Structure formats: structure tokens, C-alpha cells
Amino acid sequence: MGICSICGGEKNKVYRTVSHTFHGITIKLKNQEVYVCGKCGEIYYPAGLLDSIEQMIISRQREKGLSIDEKNKTTVLF
Ligand SMILES: [Zn+2]
């Protein structure tokens, strides 16, 4: 699982709701596998997780043709 790059503590796998904001839209994904440092509590996201959330946001923007104002208010919960 690896070692925390901040404090050198051990990282533990946990399931968390991950929230990421991109282009003014916040997407929350439940039960995502992330790693949390047992010492300092720093959260490490698996490679590609935030990228895939950004891809979801981009595709939703295309589907709905959201304007800037609408985007700022939109929260999408999966
Ligand atoms: Zn740490």
C-alpha cells in the first residue's frame, strides 16, 4: 500500500465518499477506494480517479449544455 510521502506513516485502504469539483461542478462518488495515512490523515486518491471524475463532468456538461451560471450551482451525486 505504501508509505505516506508527508510523514512516512503507513497508508491504509478505506472506502470514502470522494468529492471533486471541476469547471464549477461538484461530483460525489460514494464508496471509493482511497488510501489514508494512519499518522497524519492525508488522503491519497488512486491514480486516475480524479481524472475519471473530470471526464464525467465534461460529458455531463455536453449532455445538458449547462451554462456558466447553472454549472456553479450543480451538484451531481452518484
Ligand atoms: Zn502521513
Please state, in angstroms and rounded to a whole number, the distance separating the CA atoms of residues 53 and 41: 23
- Is residue 68 predicted with pLDDT exceeding 50? no
Using only C-alpha atoms, the chain has a radius of gyration, in whole angstroms, of: 15
Separation of 60 CA from ligand 1 center, angstroms?
35
Which pLDDT score is estimated for 77? 53
Cα of 45 from ligand 1 centre, angstroms: 14
Contact indicator for 18, 6 with CB cutoff of 8 Å: no
**What predicted TM-score, i.e. pTM, was given to this entire model?**
0.67
Chain centroid offset of residue 21 CA: 8
Cα of 3 vs centre of ligand 1, distance in Å, is 8
Full set of structural domains in the chain with CATH: 11-77 (3.10.20)
3-class DSSP state of 20: strand
Give distance in angstroms: CA of 23 to centre of ligand 1.
Answer: 30
CA–chain centroid gap for 58, Å, is 14
- Please compute the mean of the pLDDT values over residues 49-77 and round it to a whole number: 70
